[in-house]
Every structure is written in C-alpha cells, then in structure tokens.
Structure 1
Amino acid sequence: MYEYECSKCALIERRYPIGSAPGTDKCPTCGKEARRVYSPPYLNRTSRPVATALEQSYKSAHDPEVVKRDTSGTQQGEQRPAVNPEVKKLVGEKAWKNVREARHPAAPAN
C-alpha cells in the first residue's frame, strides 16, 4: 500500500507491487498529479506477538537493558557453573557438596 497526496483533494492510497510504485499518480477525484508520500508501515496490522518482538528488538538495539548477576561466592572474574539437578542425583548429594566446597568454599550449597 502506497500513499499519494493530491494538492487539491487529500491522501490517496494505491496498491502496487513492491519496488514498482511511481513517484506520482493521478488523483481519482480531480485527475491532478499526486506526489508519493513516504509514511511508516502499518504496524497496527501486525499481529500482537510480532509487534511486541519488533518493539523489543528496536529497544534493545538502541537502549540495551543491563543485566546484573549475583556472583557471590565466586572468585573475581570466575563465573559459577550452572547447577543441573540431574547431576546432583547422578553423583549423590554428599559428593556434590564436597565438590562445591572444594571449588567454592564460600558458596552456599544448592
């Protein structure tokens, strides 16, 4: 959908294949030449999930959110490994605590 503005009438909407819209078109009311007007896309016709994703993408590109992580119990620059509950079951609770204490003495057991 492309918009054209007639100096005598008003805005006119026309459909053309992408990349083939001319710079001017005839006004259907008065027959005068109407100039093409560049306007934002019709995002209100976009589904809500897609519009939300586009909005978040734009926001994160221009104003990224800073995420702070809790690094208590780790040495400077070292990240705590993710704890998978299945690993605890596999090695046993006691062995898991011994490994955690050896690697991170101040870390709480989880």
Structure 2
Amino acid sequence: MTELEYVDDTLQATVPGSRPYDVQVILSQGSYVSGQCRCPDETVPCKHIVAAVLASGDVEAVGSNQSLDALLAAASAEELRSILAEIADEDIGIRKRLYEELSED
C-alpha cells in the first residue's frame, strides 16, 4: 500500500498493480461489507480490495471509539470554525463548497 486511510468504517487505499489503483472499502467490525476499485478486473472483490482489507488489520481506525456526530456535538463553535477554516485553506474544493452552501445569494 502506498496510502492507507481508515476512518470510522471506511477504508481508502492506493494499491499498487500494473498501475496504482484507488480502492474504497466499507468494513463492519473489521469485516468486508462492500468495496470499489478502479481496476479493470470485474471480479468482486478484486485482488486490490482484498489487499486493502488485509492491510487494514495492521491499522486502527480513527474514530472507532466515538461517532463523528458525537464528536461534532461536543466541539465548540469556535473549534469547528477554526478547523473548517484550516481545511478550506488546504483544499480549494472545500472552500468553494463552503461559499456555495453558506452564501446568502
């Protein structure tokens, strides 16, 4: 794996093959539920998804002890604004979406 992100029940990975393939997998209690891969293989799950699921056993999921909803509910408005501003500075797509969603046009 060149990249592996495991948050809540979602696993995202870049798996090497004849070229790197982006994989997204939904897990439930560490077990495979569903997955998507951009490779041309029509087998479900393909070998890239299987590799990502196997690699997930070496990584603890971020957020596995608390729901995102509970985490957001516990945060102050100031904390949320600060984090969102930082994320928007790092990602122009998120910044654009904030303008689209929050503008009073």
User: Which structure dedicates a bigger proportion of its chain to strand?
Assistant: 2
TM bucket by the smaller chain? under 0.3
Structure number with larger C-alpha Rg: 1
TM-score normalised by L of structure 2:
0.21
